[in-house]
Structure 1
């Protein structure tokens, strides 16, 4: 059986892949940064500048 160690950020528009060890867990989903986890309040940008998912 394989163990998942990383996955795509749960933010629908985000392109980031995040390590589950470093991810921000919220409501059973995993996010790459606080901005994505909180739904980009005040158009806050993703921590990965090249992503542009906000």
Structure 2
């Protein structure tokens, strides 16, 4: 099975075991699925900063 990339527009993390499904889209973490409320950062361990762009 191919690993899916997070559906957060500025994120390039892979959706893993901690992934969240919302509205038919797959996100790597709850922060991405919630569209980074209050600038909450991406929970990925890869050092992604997609939450900084919100």
Shorter-chain TM-score bucket reads 0.7 to 0.9
Unaligned runs of 5+ residues in structure 1 are: none
Matching of residue 9 in structure 1 with residue 10 in structure 2 = no
Write 1 or 2 for the structure with the bigger share of helix: 2
The structure having more radius of gyration, on CA atoms, is 1
How far 1:18 moved relative to its partner?
1.2
Tell me the TM-score normalized by structure 2.
Answer: 0.80
Write 1 or 2 for the structure with the bigger share of strand: 1
Tell me the TM-score normalized by structure 1.
Answer: 0.80
Runs of 4+ that moved beyond 4 A: none
Superposed CA RMSD in Å reads 1.6
Unaligned runs of 5+ residues in structure 2 are: none
